[in-house]
Amino acid sequence: MEKHYIALQLSNLLGEPFSREWVFEQLEFPKQDDLGDVAFPCFQLAKVFKKSPAAIAEDLASQIDHEILQEVRPSGNYLNFFLNQEFISEHTFKQMLSKQKNYGSHSFGKGKTVVLDMSAPNIAKPFSMGHLRSTVIGNALANLAEKCGYKSVKINYIGDYGTQFGKLLAAYKLWGNEEKIRQDPIPELTKIYVKFHEQAQQDPQLVEKGREWFKKLEDQEEEAVSLWKWFKEVSLAEFNHIYNLLGISFDLTRGEAYYNDKMETVVHQLSRSQLLEESEGAKVVQLDEFGLPPCLIRKSNGTSIYATRDLTAAIDRYESYAFNEALYVVGNEQSLHFQQIKHVLEKLKFPWAENIKHISFGMMLQNGKKMSTRKGKTVLLQEVLEKAVEQAKINITKKNPHLTHKAETARKVGVGAVIFHDLKQHRRNDVEFSLEDMLTFEGNTAPYLQYAYARSCSLLKRGTFDIACADTSLNEQEAWPLIKQLRHFPEVIRQAYHDYDPSKVAKYLLDTAKQFNKYYSEVKIIGSSQESKRLTLVYCFSIIIEEGLSLLGIEAPAEM
């Protein structure tokens, strides 16, 4: 509210070309209390008004209406606004109590659809820590989209096609043991896949065998298709177990192979539009005008490539969902690929192509290096999740041996620790795998947030709080930093979705929990003369932490 109020006043005073929207984006929340509650930098006004920023701040300060403000103070090149704490505190409580979990919601996505391509593991390969990022970042973005009014469609675009499956089929024919694979499918398939790549370094003929088997798969030869279906079936069963552990579901699970009989239509479209050219026997679309290499559509041996399938999938998704945004939550290394896909669709004159966005993210590293299935260097996500849950159970038993539902609480805490360790990082940064860091139950972790939430639940349970007659008249200096923090939640949600950056929510929750714990240490809540008022603040804090964690895909246990 206050940023909109201040932006409206300033834009009216400043006039053209300084719109209310522009002023709103410039407003900041100072980190130091003595610099006010909201600050406006005056640097960009100097050229227009031909005055120093400090002089402009002085002029503006005398013209601001103080209805919800305690004071407006120029300070150097900034104009600092101090809010009326009593008015803002009561307004915050009433707003949060009326909206509950809807607090922080927006309507700018109302009537719009966002489609997310996320997770996308490859069949017949283990679900490694390397797949965690796309899965949890995509899930958090889908939740944020819903919070902003969008309808989200989560698509798990399974990697079930391509030359790597020709290699796997070749490897199975050379070294596969059906009985062993039926007993322990993914580890055994991974073993022969890794062996294929090791042997191929000494025997280049193996690579050709892989191409041959992929051609058989493309030509729908019975044995190739039968093996491929088997590998896919056992893989999906493994994946679903992990998704259940993470608490993540999808609106649509579809493999690349779904588009096999649909790609030819797109190839014909490219040809009719005179975009398809031959290059060394292959079919390509030139992208010179964008400064990009050609987009390969069909290889010289006639087989398709994943660009062809992605083009077909994009068209199918628009026809199915008429999306306003299509977000591809895929690693940084695929940046060129998605630039090519977008520009080819633009050349086909699809106006919606501009709404395709590559939501890139850094790699999950192990000892500073990329994890790789073909090199046998992977950390299995299921093992990490199971270890995290076990460690959570040990820690909970030490701290609260009589806790009921211990196993369920340990699952929420352990899985939450793994998810949060990823989401607190900016998505474009690489993340070094560290089981020790993930399982630290103090500091900047999910368990720290979950414990703060559990503490708030305990206070509410022990105290006399009744939402029906909650006292919203709390006005004390110790509470003000936490109240201000709670007010920032809607803006954090808006910015997190705008930047496609769940880490903004994670960092905000950590700051909020720290303010709550500081407040808890400074004042007596239960049994104090201000108990009812203070419990209203505790309840509002609990709303924010529970909802914020939920947006990140993390559950908040009421007891720990």
- Indicate if 389 and 502 belong to the same structural domain: yes
- Indicate if 202 and 294 belong to the same structural domain: yes
- Indicate if 350 and 468 belong to the same structural domain: no
pLDDT of residue 377: 61
pLDDT of residue 77: 95
Those residues with Cβ within 8 angstroms of residue 521's Cβ, 6 or more apart along the chain or in another chain? none
pTM metric for this prediction: 0.91
User: How many CB atoms are located within 10 Å of the residue 379 CB?
Assistant: 16
Give CA–CA dist 140/150, Å, rounded.
Answer: 13
Q: What is the CATH number of the domain that holds 64?
A: 3.30.1360.70
DSSP 3-state assignment of 260? Answer: coil
pLDDT digits (tens, 9 = 90+) for 473-528: 999 999 999 999 999 999 999 999 999 999 999 999 999 999 999 999 999 999 99
**Greatest mean pLDDT among 24-28, 301-305, 381-385, 438-442:** 24-28
- Nearest Cα neighbor of 516 from 485, 492, 489 is 485
Q: Is the pLDDT reported for residue 374 higher than 60?
A: no
Domain range enclosing 279: 113-370
- Indicate if 390 and 354 belong to the same structural domain: no
pLDDT of residue 543: 98
pLDDT digits (tens, 9 = 90+) for 35-49: 999 999 999 999 999
Sign of the CA dihedral running 424, 427, 428, 432: positive
Give CA–CA dist 455/463, Å, rounded.
Answer: 12
Instruction: Tell me whether residue 93 is in a domain.
Output: no
- Indicate if 454 and 538 belong to the same structural domain: yes
- Indicate if 416 and 360 belong to the same structural domain: no
pLDDT of residue 432: 87
Give CA–CA dist 167/124, Å, rounded.
Answer: 12
pLDDT of residue 127: 87
Chain mean pLDDT for the chain: 93
Q: Is the pLDDT reported for residue 334 higher than 90?
A: yes
Beta pairing partners, 71: 82
Instruction: Tell me whether residue 91 is in a domain.
Output: no
Instruction: Tell me whether residue 405 is in a domain.
Output: yes
The CA–CA distances, whole Å, from 103 to 137, 480, 546 equal 22, 19, 12
What is the average pLDDT across 347-351?
Answer: 98
Instruction: Tell me whether residue 210 is in a domain.
Output: yes
- Indicate if 26 and 122 belong to the same structural domain: no
Q: Where are the alpha helices (DSSP H) in 367-523?
A: 381-399, 406-423, 435-438, 446-462, 480-487, 489-498, 503-522
- Indicate if 345 and 408 belong to the same structural domain: no
- Indicate if 226 and 346 belong to the same structural domain: yes
Instruction: Tell me whether residue 94 is in a domain.
Output: no
pLDDT of residue 65: 84
Instruction: Tell me whether residue 558 is in a domain.
Output: no
Instruction: Tell me whether residue 253 is in a domain.
Output: yes
Which of 160-164, 194-198, 416-420 bottoms out in mean pLDDT, i.e. has the lowest? 160-164
pLDDT digits (tens, 9 = 90+) for 101-121: 999 999 999 999 999 999 999
- Indicate if 391 and 359 belong to the same structural domain: no
pLDDT of residue 302: 74
Q: Is the pLDDT reported for residue 376 higher than 60?
A: no
Give CA–CA dist 83/2, Å, rounded.
Answer: 8
Q: How many domains does the chain contain in total?
A: 3
- Indicate if 198 and 319 belong to the same structural domain: yes
| Token reading at 295 | 């987009």
